[in-house]
Amino acid sequence: MNFKRPSTHSRMSEYTMENWVLCAAIVFVVAGKVLQYTSAHHEAWVGRLTQGATPAYKAYAAKLHEQKTLQEENHSISAQDNYARWTKNNRKLDKLAGEVKELRAQVLSQQGQGRKLLKNSRLLLLTLPFLGLKLWKGKEIVYYLPSSRLFPHLLNGTWHQGWLFLAMYPLKLVLSRVNSVYDVSFVTEKLTVFSGPAVGVSLGIWLWALTSVLASIEFVVNTLVLGEKLEDPVKAAKKQ
């Protein structure tokens, strides 16, 4: 996708959107949505990755199995007729209870480490790069609007330069007043506030619009298709 700068747009963005930027942004959005919808399975994934093969988890599972077997055996025999066996089992169960408690603490600690690993991975591989991309390429234009007369000036500026435009606009007004009395052009020149005739949609705004549309679609689908149908309230019969 190459966006050529229209020749008539003399004061439009200096940047040209490159394909990889848009692709990377879409990948981040999709990855974020995938992680959002699979959050229920994250524990299991972390468990498989961090516990399944660890000696503590294997020992924990084995001890739990042994505990269950002994409990079942003790429930199946008469304590009075098999007192020695029953008591020996109880001693083993007491010992096992301590071991299981210790192993459970180890497994939980490993689980916590796994959760932390997942959280950090998400931060390092998704959140931070996505934020970096938005900061770095956020002002690049994804496409130009066919006409600059579609939206009011404020909105045009916002689409073109992102949310920063809204923040800078009042400052620009104040500075223009000041400039008329004192020469502060050395400051105003630095503030590249949109005022040109060609209006484009910057990456930051495009991503905001994309995620908003996706969220709205999700809401509609969840409400109309996936949501549980509520039963109509029962109307109380009128007293005669």
Partner 1 sequence: MDLDLDVEANLHSLITSTTHKWIFVGGKGGVGKTTSSSSIAIQMALNQPEKQFLLISTDPAHNLSDAFGEKFGKDARKVTGMNNLSCMEIDPAAALKDMNDMAVSQGQGAGQGGLSDMLQGGALADLTGSIPGIDEALSFMEVMKHIKRQEQGEGDSFDTVIFDTAPTGHTLRFLQLPTTLGKLLDKFGEITGKLGPMLNSFMGSGNVDISAQLNELKANVETIRQQFTDPDLTTFVCVCISEFLSLYETERLIQELISYDMDVNSIIVNQLLFADDDKEHNCKRCQARWKMQKKYLDQIGELYEDFHVVKMPLCAGEIRGLANLKKFSRFLDTEYNPATDGAVIYELEDKN
Under the rule (CB under 8 A), what is the footprint of partner 1?
79-80, 83-84, 87-88, 90-91, 94
- Give one DSSP letter per residue of 56-90, joined into a string: HHHHHHHHHHHHHHHHHHHHHS-TTTTHHHHHHHH
- Please give the Cα distance from 134 to 65 (Å, whole number): 52
Q: Which is nearer to partner 1, 75 or 238 (CB)?
A: 75
Q: Which is nearer to partner 1, 18 or 99 (CB)?
A: 99
Q: To the nearest whole angstrom, how small is the minimum distance from the Cβ of residue 96 to partner 1? A: 14
- Please give the Cα distance from 140 to 130 (Å, whole number): 15
Q: Which is nearer to partner 1, 86 or 208 (CB)?
A: 86
Q: To the nearest whole angstrom, how small is the minimum distance from the Cβ of residue 77 to partner 1? A: 13
Going along 141-188, which residue ranges are E strands? 141-144
- Please give the Cα distance from 204 to 137 (Å, whole number): 8
- Contact by Cβ (8 Å): 36, 134: no
Q: Which is nearer to partner 1, 36 or 80 (CB)?
A: 80
Q: To the nearest whole angstrom, how small is the minimum distance from the Cβ of residue 43 to partner 1? A: 36
Choose among 190, 165, 187, 169: nearest CA to 178. Answer: 187
Q: To the nearest whole angstrom, how small is the minimum distance from the Cβ of residue 59 to partner 1? A: 23
Q: Which is nearer to partner 1, 84 or 236 (CB)?
A: 84
Q: Which is nearer to partner 1, 54 or 90 (CB)?
A: 90
Residue type, 76: S
Q: To the nearest whole angstrom, how small is the minimum distance from the Cβ of residue 46 to partner 1? A: 37
Cα 84–chain centre separation: 58
Q: To the nearest whole angstrom, how small is the minimum distance from the Cβ of residue 65 to partner 1? A: 24
- Contact by Cβ (8 Å): 212, 148: no
